[in-house]
Chains A and B, each alone.
Chain A
Amino acid sequence: GAVVSQHPSWVICKSGTSVKIECRSLDFQATTMFWYRQFPKQSLMLMATSNEGSKATYEQGVEKDKFLINHASLTLSTLTVTSAHPEDSSFYICSATREGSTDTQYFGPGTRLTVL
């Protein structure tokens, strides 16, 4: 149990376009979802915390108008990178916690974004 999926697994886009990444909890309802980005050979950097039906809480330095997060249901959160630029190229990973085990984050497989 506690499987988290992401779609797409990789995406290449042109500079200036927007890209949407989906995060789904497949076999549980996610009380909270998190979005991270990870640069090569570095640890995970938290971007925002998302709860169903409420606005996401962004970490300091993360532009909320650039990284739009929507958490429409207990099993789906989306991250939209708006007007993407090459510096937004990164590995984006989501995680989710579930009821009864709210301390443990279960991670998705990640989405590799490359902006040309």
Chain B
Amino acid sequence: GESVGLHLPTLSVQEGDNSIINCAYSNSASDYFIWYKQESGKGPQFIIDIRSNMDKRQGQRVTVLLNKTVKHLSLQIAATQPGDSAVYFCAENGFRGTYKYIFGTGTRLKVLA
């Protein structure tokens, strides 16, 4: 069930602009979704999560939107900073009865100075 991509799509954003990273998730029965940030050579870092009984959740400079109708998840980063440059993965708890995740293929965010 893990998703493996051959290459990462890249989103280039000007510093100070807002970023929107999208993810199409796999399992309509998934009820928990997470966004992770992974910098080069490091492990994934938890950013924000959302449960299926919500359609929006806000954190510090980040917002996650969930559209269950079309199985779409997005991460919005406000006032993007150079330190936001990383690969962003979405994950869903798509394996019922287990704690395993299905990971998205990832999106590389490049912040242009």
Contact = CB atoms under 8 A, between A and B. Distances in A.
Contact of B32 (A42, A45, A103, A106): A103
B30 to A, nearest CB: 11
Given A104-B34, A106-B46, A107-B36, A45 B99 contact: no
B99 A44 contact: no
Nearest to B89: A43
Dominant SS among interface residues on chain A: strand
Interface residue tally on B, bucketed by range: 20 to 34
A104 to B, nearest CB: 6
Contacts of A108: 43
A21 to B, nearest CB: 12
B43 A110 contact: yes
Interface of B: 1-8, 32, 34, 36, 41-46, 49, 89, 91, 93, 98-101, 103-106
Interface of A: 2, 4, 6, 32, 34, 41-46, 49, 59, 91, 93, 95, 97, 102-110, 112
